[in-house]
Amino acid sequence: MSVGKKLLGSFLVVIVLTLLMFGVSSWGTSKIRKAHETTLASMRSATNAEQQSGQLSRLLTQIEAVQQTLQGGMSRARADMLQNREKIQIFNNQEREVLSVFVKAGTAELGAFAAPHEELVVETEKNMAHVNQIAAELEELWLPRHDGLAEDLSSLKRSLLNWTLKIANMMFVQSSIDELLYEDLADSPVEQFKAGKSYQKYAADFPELKQAMEKVSLANKQLSDLANELEMLTLFNKWEEARLFYRDHFPPKIKAVMVDLDHVIALEYHILATQKEAISLFNNDLETAVAKMVVPFIAVKEELEQRQKTTGLIVADAAEKVLINNQATEIQIDHINQTSIIITIVAVLVALAMALFATRGITQPLKQANQMLTDLEEGDLDARLALTRQDELGMLGKSLDSFADNLQHEVISAFKHLAAGDFTFIAQGLVREPLAETNAALNRFMGEIRASGVQVANRSQQISKSSQSLSHGATKQASALVQVGSTLANVIDQSRQNSESAQHAHTLTQSAQNSAHTGSEEMQQVVQAMNQINVASKEIARIMKVIDEIAFQTNLLALNAAVEAARAGQHGKGFAVVAEEVRALANRSGEAASEIATLIEGSQQKVEFGVKVANSAAATLEGIDAGVSKIENLAEKIAQASRQQTQRIEEVNLGLDQIDRATQQTTANSEESAAAAEDLARQASQLHEMLETFRLVKSEILHLHSKNLPIKSAPLLVA
């Protein structure tokens, strides 16, 4: 086999190994890219699931906010009614804005998760409109009561009536009324009432009371003046004229005063009735409407919670897929690394072996030939190569040996040309033809060596370019892996923050649940105590009502006795005094019983309302307890899922670090291959430069050109 074919075969083997290495790297890069795309798809799925989970959490928060807004408005309205506020407001502007925004936007957003969308929107708007309508009616209907005013006005009526009856009795017994006159009008019951707390507290905001008391105050002054005139008549013992004067002036004035006072008392009773109606509207209609508005969102809330659980499963599944893809990628990378390392080592070793083999196979015989020629040049004509090779170098050795044999005779001058590298000479003498053949063989041999050197240089450049391309691709791959690692690091940080937030929410919900449970138990005890108070108040009210009826009957009997005593004339005076005392005692008993009954009735109303409020608060606390328990379980699950997600993403990040190191190793191996190829190219260039010292005939150049050898890249010296 010729030297050129050996060199060509060697370089073909190197090229095949290089292409194989490039193919393995391309195949590995494709596998890694596909695994990376699968990982990115799983991560996008997890990100979408996280976004959907956030949207679900926001909707659940909006539903909780709406429920808290409704409960807050109801609680505030209860407190306002219990505290007898001048005005009540079910929902303030901020709460109305929250409810309005939820009805307009929140229900529409719920349509993407809860079905049917249109029915939910229509039902929510209808329920909200109903709640607003009832709230407006309740706010318009509410009037503040005037605590104690009706009792004080009733007491004033009784005082005026008693004063008038006392004057009548004095006229009947023909006794002086001097002790019934007021030295100062400010001492009269009317003026004392005007100076009292009730009038001073309510007159400014109760114009009917102020107008009535102005009339009563004027009538009171007139009655005081009339009493003074009546006293003047009694001083002159004009009893019959005094009786007629009393009859014509006092009853009309007292009746007018009673009408004015009764009008104010009737208004106050109307306010109390209106409050009862407002309380009934609040307890029956408004609470029912609010509960009806909340009911549709219970199923929606359960559905959203279920979807949130499903989203958590999707995130876990995506994380598991990322982990599986990462494991598969690691296995592929290990396999690719092993294959690349083996192929790279084999390619480098084969290239080095081929280079050494080709170089030594050519340079060693040439060195021997050079040494032989040197010896011949120095005069040692006994030097011989004695080569047994069957290739061009073997032929060269034989020719040189023949040359050495003939050198002593005719061709020393010819060998001087050969020693100088000139193969264009024409031998003379008897060995002309063998020398010509040797010269031709050397021309062919050196031309093929030159061509092989050019091929070695070209193939070495191709190997270097392929190795550099492989190194560049590995560098890009490493950069992409660094970006993926950075993204995973951000995801890990976000997952850790989610886990910490969920754990904090779990702690808060546990505390809220304990507080709600304790409050619920205490509220049950309050309800029981208020129920007992309510039963006792009803029993006391019944007893006081009996006492009031007895006092009223006693008063009637005393009045009848006074009338009978008046009819009896002088003989009934003592009985009239006793009847007056009995009537006075009956009046005081009636007043006390009426006041106690009024107080008990007010207390009973407040206790009944307090029982309803306490029952409602207990039910609300139980609902809060159950809701907080659900939120606690959900927060614990979210925290656990976030911790697992963080752990698995960290494992993925570690796998990507291993991929990065393997890619960097591949880059280093590629750079070593490129360096080896460049070294081979330098050796081929040195060989080419060494062979250029030989001069060949033009016919050999034409012969090489006929074989389509790339001789243009290595110009020859042509004789």
Tell me the two tokens of residue 471. Answer: 């190194």
Q: How far is CA 100 from the centre of its chain?
A: 23
Q: SS3 for 382?
A: coil
For residues 253 and 56, the answer to whether their CB atoms sit within 8 Å is no
pLDDT in tens, 127-184: 778 888 888 888 888 888 888 888 999 999 999 999 999 998 988 888 888 888 888 8
Domain 474-680 of CATH type 1.10.760.10 = no
Q: Which CATH class is domain 149-272?
A: mainly alpha
For residues 172 and 297, the answer to whether their CB atoms sit within 8 Å is no
Q: Cα–Cα distance between 404 and 402 in angstroms, integer?
A: 5
Q: Which of 323-337, 648-662, 667-681, 705-719 has the lowest mean pLDDT?
A: 705-719
Please give the average per-residue pLDDT across 349-353, as a whole number.
Answer: 75
Report pLDDT for 119.
67
Residue 631 has pLDDT above 60, yes or no: yes
**HEC profile for 452-509?**
HHHHHHHHHHHHHHHHHHHHHHHHHHHHHHHHHHHHHHHHHHHHHHHHHHHHHHHHHH
Q: Which has the higher per-residue pLDDT, 394 or 706? A: 394
Report pLDDT for 374.
81
For residues 464 and 677, the answer to whether their CB atoms sit within 8 Å is yes
Report pLDDT for 719.
40
Burial of 702 (0-12, 13-18, 19+ CB in 10 A): exposed
Share of the chain above pLDDT 70, in %: 62
Q: Cα–Cα distance between 351 and 529 in angstroms, integer?
A: 102
Report pLDDT for 90.
78
Tell me the two tokens of residue 348. Answer: 């480098």
Please give the average per-residue pLDDT across 16-33, as a whole number.
Answer: 75
Binned at pLDDT 50, 70 and 90, residue 219 comes out as very high
Please give the average per-residue pLDDT across 331-346, as a whole number.
Answer: 76
Please give the average per-residue pLDDT across 58-81, as a whole number.
Answer: 77
Tell me the two tokens of residue 239. Answer: 């009893």
Residues whose CB is less than 8 angstroms from the CB of residue 308 and which lie 6 or more positions away in sequence, other chains included: 53, 56, 57, 60, 634
- Please state the φ and ψ torsions of residue 602, each to the nearest 5 degrees: -65, -45
Q: Cα–Cα distance between 364 and 397 in angstroms, integer?
A: 12
**Residue located via tokens 């409960």:** 71
Please give the average per-residue pLDDT across 78-91, as a whole number.
Answer: 83
Pairing type for strands 695-696 and 717-718 reads parallel
Report pLDDT for 673.
72
- What's at 685, amino acid-wise? S
Report pLDDT for 69.
79
pLDDT in tens, 396-448: 777 777 776 766 566 566 666 666 666 666 666 555 676 677 767 777 777 77
Report pLDDT for 407.
62
- What's at 596, amino acid-wise? I
Helix (H) or strand (E) holding 695: strand 695-696
Nearest to residue 264, comparing CAs of 203, 200, 185, 192?
Answer: 203
**Residue located via tokens 């010296």:** 717
**Dihedral class, residue 208 (left if φ above 0, else alpha if ψ from -120 to 50, else beta):** alpha
Whether residue 116 is preceded by a cis peptide bond, meaning omega within 30 degrees of 0, is yes
Q: Cα–Cα distance between 401 and 245 in angstroms, integer?
A: 183
Tell me the two tokens of residue 25. Answer: 């790297």
- Note the CATH architecture for domain 362-420: Orthogonal Bundle (1.10)
End-to-end CA distance of the chain: 29
Of the segments 75-84, 205-214, 597-606, which one has the largest average pLDDT value? 205-214
Please state, rounded to an integer, the average pLDDT across all residues of the chain.
74
Residue 568 has pLDDT above 90, yes or no: no
pLDDT in tens, 235-256: 889 999 999 999 999 999 999 9
Domains 362-420 and 474-680 share a fold: no
Sorted by where each begins, the domain ranges of the chain are 9-144+292-343, 149-272, 362-420, 474-680
Please give the average per-residue pLDDT across 366-386, as a whole number.
Answer: 71
Report pLDDT for 706.
46
Identify the DSSP state of 412: H
Is the CA virtual torsion 21, 27, 29, 35 positive or negative?
negative
Report pLDDT for 160.
92
Please give the average per-residue pLDDT across 659-680, as a whole number.
Answer: 74
